[in-house]
């Protein structure tokens, strides 16, 4: 009963495993200052990502996806980028709040994100994005279906079924099914590409280079972004029309199509945010370091308590100043 009703992770994860959670019940719960410090830090950092980034980006995203007919391909690309970071900051912010809340109670919940937009392939992306869901799909769908034990065709079948069901889990609608199938197709394409590079020494050498890594990260990010259109759009028809514009299948946009037209329909974010954006991004990187995402396991960075306190105070000040008038619910609450 406690496992099922553990409130920090009950609504939107991270998905916890019984076998990982229950051993923590046998540990004597004692007041631990470090757990309190880490928990509060995660909660405030999660709010920082949700309110300053996700909620302000939501203004742009909502205006674009509600009237995509007003925009051309270039403007829509900017809006798709905005949604990519909105959903990341929204969901990873929620995860930080959930993990921090659990730590206040003396429980450790594993990280659910590991800088997913730095992935160099769609396979690596799913190792970094919503880790608890991707491992759950692997262990409870892909492997029971047969995994990769039955040859290439059966492996690809199992992979596609897993991803389509993963899409269907998000909602019983065609655009979610297409989103899952889209992910499955690119996962299969990456496996084929990996087989090719392993078989051709020249390609293997090229793949090992830093330039290839950078180009792979950029390409993977854009593949993911196109997939997010199916995820975010209200239905498949709207998603298809947006993607046709993103790929300029309808031609290049006319001069009258402008992002400012759509943004004029709603209240835009506080312009001061854009003026201090480099400082805010620096705080975001610092938060990733403090939370361990950018730290080296061999040489962890030890941050003095006083510096942490100053950092938290700055985050709270920014939250008070730049919180939007309304804060939409977390995206994954609907799932």
- Cα–Cα dist 81/225, whole Å: 7
- Cα–Cα dist 319/126, whole Å: 31
Q: What is the DSSP letter of 22?
A: G
State the alpha helices, DSSP H only, in 200-255.
201-207, 210-232, 236-246
- Among 144, 127, 286, 123, smallest CA distance to 189 is for 123
Rounded to the nearest 10 degrees, the angle between the axes of helix 56-66 and helix 73-104 is 140
190 in catalytic set: no
Token pair of 163 as six digits: 């991803």
Neighbours of 213 (CB within 10 A): 13
Please pick, among 130, 170, 190, 222, the residue that the annotation labels catalytic: 170
- Among 74, 68, 54, 52, smallest CA distance to 254 is for 74
Write b or e for each residue in 129-164: b if 16 or more Cβ atoms lie within 10 A of its Cβ, otherwise e. Answer: bbbbbbebbeeebbeebebeeeeeeebbbbbbbbbb
Residues with catalytic annotation?
170
């Amino acid at each position: 009963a406690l496992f099922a009703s553990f409130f920090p992770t009950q609504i939107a994860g991270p998905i916890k495993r019984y076998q990982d959670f229950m051993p923590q019940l046998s540990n004597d719960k004692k007041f631990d200052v470090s757990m309190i410090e880490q928990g509060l830090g995660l909660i405030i950092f999660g709010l920082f990502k949700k309110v300053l980034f996700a909620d302000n980006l939501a203004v742009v995203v909502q205006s674009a996806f509600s009237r995509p007919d007003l925009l051309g391909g270039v403007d829509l690309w900017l809006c798709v980028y905005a949604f990519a970071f909105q959903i990341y900051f929204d969901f990873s912010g929620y995860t930080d709040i959930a993990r921090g809340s659990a730590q206040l109670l003396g429980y450790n919940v594993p990280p659910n994100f590991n800088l997913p937009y730095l992935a160099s392939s769609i396979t690596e992306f799913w190792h970094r994005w919503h880790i608890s869901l991707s491992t759950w799909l692997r262990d409870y769908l892909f492997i029971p279906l047969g995994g990769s034990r039955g040859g290439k065709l059966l492996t690809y079948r199992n992979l596609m079924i897993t991803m389509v069901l993963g899409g269907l889990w998000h909602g019983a609608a065609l655009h979610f099914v297409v989103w899952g199938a889209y992910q499955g197709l690119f996962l299969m394409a990456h496996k084929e590409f990996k087989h090719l590079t392993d078989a051709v020494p020249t390609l293997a050498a090229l793949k090992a280079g830093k330039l290839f890594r950078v180009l792979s990260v950029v390409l993977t990010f854009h593949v993911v972004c196109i997939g997010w259109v199916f995820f975010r759009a209200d239905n498949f028809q709207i998603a298809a029309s947006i993607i046709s514009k993103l790929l300029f299948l309808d031609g290049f946009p006319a001069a009258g199509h402008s992002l400012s037209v759509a943004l004029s329909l709603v209240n835009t974010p506080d312009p001061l945010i854009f003026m201090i954006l480099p400082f805010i991004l620096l705080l975001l990187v610092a938060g990733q370091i403090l939370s361990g995402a950018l730290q080296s396991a061999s040489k962890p960075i030890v941050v003095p308590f006083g510096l942490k306190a100053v950092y938290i105070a700055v985050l709270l000040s920014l939250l008070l100043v730049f919180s939007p008038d309304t804060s939409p619910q977390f995206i994954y609450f609907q799932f």
